[in-house]
Structure 1
């Protein structure tokens, strides 16, 4: 007795010719899947002749590329280029060999020629000038709440005729660092907005250095040590045309323990340039001389830290 639903009429059986398209699609599936999972790599030749960070960008206010304390200098991943930098369009990066993250990223912002570039679909890629395994990639960020955080903000180098190239350059894993979701959504974003909006409004220029605070006891997730804080140092010309600098740090230690659960409010603080140098081992030339917090700390011998709750607390 035939089972219910089982066709017994031979004429109902599919012909081999009818099955051919299905077989072909099944054969093609593994190749298509490989194309979807294969990492994107920007060939080294495509990144040749990039004009990266410029120390003379602020005119007579020369802001050299940061130097590093001996321990940090030994950890720099060699690139074969000057100062072992990775140069991109309007920004540059020095990469940590041990942590596979940027030690410092620096960008020049020109508000007078800023170009609004639509974000589109995020497409992160490895920098072909370095081995892929020297860069933290998608395996860290997949299926969790960690942000693929831009260190050089996507919009900052987007100015002039090379704005679209600059925009694409920011989507390299060398410019990416694991950040709590709220990092890009709260006061740190307001700080970035404040800097960029003011350069655009006043058609001004600024230089911004950013990086993770790398500690030996940083917590480990998926075999990767996650930075507990991020810092930013800004150099610019004040309303009076005089050189100025300011520094900031966001701390995410309290939330890292909740990495796989939820993300709460983070705290951003105004610090002195001197403090950032002490904490990071990154040296910013004489920028501390132009920073009010650093000068006050030197006079009083007291460390200054100011919480930032919103744009009204940001002082440049």
Structure 2
């Protein structure tokens, strides 16, 4: 991906969503030619010259201090993940998390796999760069996708979400799942701007899915680590679940995600039924 165009479009779309009145600017008469903040308004709020900001937005800003980037992030009302993404686009490689070589193969430690296997009543998996599924437990296999029969390339949450029709049935709020998927791929692209495999994945999804192409153009950046995740399985019906995601300290590009149900709920009973089925299949 072209870093300059990514930076330009990210800043343009972030400017477009901020109303002048939200940042203390007075609206003047007449129709605005652009939605949100103009470049000169943002430059004023960030305390830089208009010419300097224009060059920055065009990727010609040269050395830009962290203080200036933080001032721009504050003026744009960016969240923490978005702020980090802005820093990554301007200073590739200087990310919050140390970047492993994008072409290197990620490995899940045996101890982490053992943790997955002990979670008999909680679907869990480990996701790596580009949303590749690196490891899973039996309940995740039953509930989300039959990972063992998929090719390594297809064990990918983005491909499953946009290219597999089953995902639209399994995720009750498919739109939210899709939005989160695209937003995280943006985060990953910012952390690893030179990852050609990720670029190829994005190109593939953009070609194959109109939904992905439309969402990617929004330049939304988000990395959610917990929340609600209602799912559906044809054997047990709807499952009102929540999820928690934990970064792996020695490889922050890996994350363990666990789905949980409230104790005594119908969702908890449904997970136990699916877990029993997984055990039966394992003995066959």
TM-score (norm 1): 0.25
Query: Which is helix-richer, 1 or 2?
Result: 2
Instruction: Choose between structure 1 and 2: higher strand proportion.
Output: 1
Determine which structure has more spread, i.e. the larger CA radius of gyration.
1
- TM-score (norm: length of structure 2): 0.26
